[in-house]
Amino acid sequence: MENFQKLALDDTFQFSCHPGIECFNRCCSDLNQFLTPYDILRLKKSLKLSSGEFLKHYTTHHIGPRSGLPVVTLGMLKHKNLSCPFVSKVGCAVYPDRPGSCRIYPLARIIQRRPNQSTCEEFYILIKEPHCLGFEESKEWTVREWKQGQAVDLYDEMNDLLMDIISLKNRSHRKGLTHKENELFYLACYDLDGFRDLVFEKRLWKTHPVEDHSSKDLEQDDVALMRFGIEWIKGRLFGDSSTNHERGS
Ligand code: SF4
Ligand code: SF4
């Protein structure tokens, strides 16, 4: 852990990354790059693909050994020294929609919920990797300033919704989901366009109402559909309707 330094929002670190730096793009290969549902939403829009096409062409998935839930990983290119499929000579080809972990690097956001505590602890770690020369640059940031510059607020918000599912799963003391449940989780969280088909085929908003969204929102707004999907999966797999109750429905 010597290369990881724990930081709070107003702590500072020294770092800069720019195309002129000698290590430019060196960090964009041989990655174990997990993708969150919101990462996939942004990437499939950026590439003008359906979620199904994006998942098929760019990712693999497995059951996380710790969470027991489906996990999606960005596939690295074996014929190109395991480089990320989106790296180019001039940088990241999906830069405005790059995954949250790429945006916030060299930081990582950690959320910890201790047993028997309702609130979570949030902190950041600074990842100092030997190949990254950005730490030799003189520019100084607070964690808060870095996060603002990388526009990660919505990524954090959506990832926290996913954390709610993981937390519910842990509290349920279930080791794993059934095959069918894993398929539903994958559909509602990752394959958003496939999930939209299910929502409209079964008119799911009738049986799982979400106060803030109409069926038109679910048809037209991917973020609204993702919020609905996460709430639906919480109820469908873990019998949780707390959010609806909190909203008064
Ligand atoms: S290795 Fe570090 S400084 Fe170099 S391109 Fe990657 S993030 Fe930027
Ligand atoms: S998505 Fe972009 S920033 Fe992230 S690893 Fe790939 S090329 Fe690098």
pLDDT digits (tens, 9 = 90+) for 12-34: 999 999 999 999 999 999 999 99
Q: What does the pLDDT look like over 70-124, one tens digit per residue?
A: 999 999 999 999 999 999 999 999 999 999 999 999 999 998 877 667 678 899 9
pTM above 0.85, yes or no: yes
Mean pLDDT, residues 32-57: 98
Question: Under DSSP, is residue 110 helix (H, G, I), strand (E, B) or coil?
Answer: strand
Confidence of residue 230 (pLDDT cuts 50, 70, 90): very high
Confidence of residue 216 (pLDDT cuts 50, 70, 90): confident
Nearest bound ligand to the CA of residue 35: 2
Helical axes 37-46 vs 192-202, angle rounded to 10°:
100
Tally of CA atoms within 13 A in the half-sphere of 178 that contains its CB = 5
Nearest CA to ligand 1 atom 8: 17
How much distance in Å is there from the Cα of 77 to the middle of ligand 2? 12
Q: What does the pLDDT look like over 121-171, one tens digit per residue?
A: 899 999 999 999 999 999 999 999 999 999 999 999 999 999 989 888 888
Q: What's the pLDDT score for residue 240? A: 67
How much distance in Å is there from the Cα of 120 to the middle of ligand 1? 31
Nearest CA to ligand 1 atom 6: 27
Q: How far is CA 157 from CA 100, 103, 154, 215, 226, in A?
A: 11, 15, 5, 22, 12
Q: Which two tokens stand for residue 65?
A: 């050994």
